[in-house]
Amino acid sequence: MSHRQAIVFEGAEGNRLVGDLYEPAAPGGPVALLLHGGGQTRHAWRGTERRLADHGYVAIAYDQRGHGDSDWPTSGRYAFDDYAQDLTAVADQVEARWHRRPIVIGASLGGIAGMLAEGEADRPILAGLVLVDVTPRMDPEGVAKVLGFMGDRIEDGFATIEEAADAIAAYLPNRTRPTSLEGLRKNLRHHPDGRWRWHWDPRFLKPPGPPQDTTARRIAAARNLRIPTLLVRGRQSELVSEEHVAEFMRLVPHAAFADVSGAGHMVAGDRNDVFAAAVLRFLEATFPVGGTAPEPAPAG
């Protein structure tokens, strides 16, 4: 039986990154590092973490910079580069403690951080990469929808947790509304004015400088991936189309692919059972507990 404990990492700016660690009963297993999407927290992975640890994997999820219980950097830096640099720093700390490079399971923002950290590095950073509903190119209308939801009520917040739950239900009408709001409470902060606001820095949506299109960089980074890679898409995704998947598979021909029916962009939240099973199949085939790390894919 796995158990949870707190863990803290240091990011690229010396920023504190707060996480949860699930270690399996038997030590020595591969290390899976789970990175949430923009506007989420490490709690999005709670069910997945437990399941991975119960199958022998060390499972770690941390709040990325500006999210959850992690620091909001005074610099206000929230570009993709900053998340990739944090991940590189965390991966080095993981390797120093467990003597293994981590396998990153990254949703949306977390996946982009993993893609850039590994695909632009001049040395090995990760052992493997699972991209959860994110590819180098994404549907701009879908991205605008996600950012629109995140930006709505960013200043005013909500009078009650129930009001926040109503906003999520309107945004995700196909998802079953939970009977308990305790999970949602972890994604909100209760402010002195009595209002509830999202548990992330509003500056995340207001980066310094003009907006930049990093699609070309993400494409180049994907083309450079040599580590075992899995792309998991929500079949009803508003961000990743079948054409985007086809492009990714041309860029990373050694990658595996799983399409999760009944799920949109929030794959792990929409169908956690199917999602976790797909990830475990990939991990157990590629990084078996007690096995050795696979050789990188050849360049070309």
Instruction: For the chain, list the domains and their CATH numbers.
Output: 3-140+212-286 (3.40.50.1820)
Strand partners, 33: 60, 104
Give the SS3 label for residue 232.
strand
Q: Whole-prediction pTM value?
A: 0.91
Beta bridge partners of 67: 200
- In the predicted structure, residue 50 carries a pLDDT above the cut 80: yes
At residue 260, the pLDDT reads 83
CA distance 152 to 40: 15
Who contacts 230 (Cβ-Cβ below 8 Å, separation ≥6)?
128, 129, 130, 131, 255, 256, 257, 258, 278, 279, 282
Ranges 195-209, 266-280, 282-296: which has the least confidence: 266-280
| Beta strands 31-35 and 58-62, pairing class | parallel
State the CB neighbour count (10 A cutoff) for residue 243.
11
Whether 33 contacts 118, CB under 8 Å:
no
- What residues pair up with 104 in beta bridges, in sequence order? 33, 129
pLDDT of the residue at 161? 94
Residue 270: band (very low, low, confident or very high) from pLDDT cuts 50, 70, 90: low
Contact between 116 and 217 (Cβ < 8 Å): yes
pLDDT at 171: 84
Q: Is the pLDDT of residue 68 over 90?
A: yes
pLDDT above 70 as % of the chain = 93
pLDDT exceeds cutoff 60 at 300: no
Tokens 């951080």 correspond to 113
What's the confidence (pLDDT) of residue 263?
Answer: 67
Non-local (6+) Cβ contacts of 74 within 8 A are none
What is the spatial distance between Cα 286 and Cα 288, in angstroms, rounded to a whole number? 6
Those residues with Cβ within 8 angstroms of residue 112's Cβ, 6 or more apart along the chain or in another chain: 80, 83, 84, 106, 134, 218
pLDDT at 209: 59
- Calpha distance 102→107 (Å, rounded): 16
Q: Which residues pair with 16 in a beta bridge?
A: 10
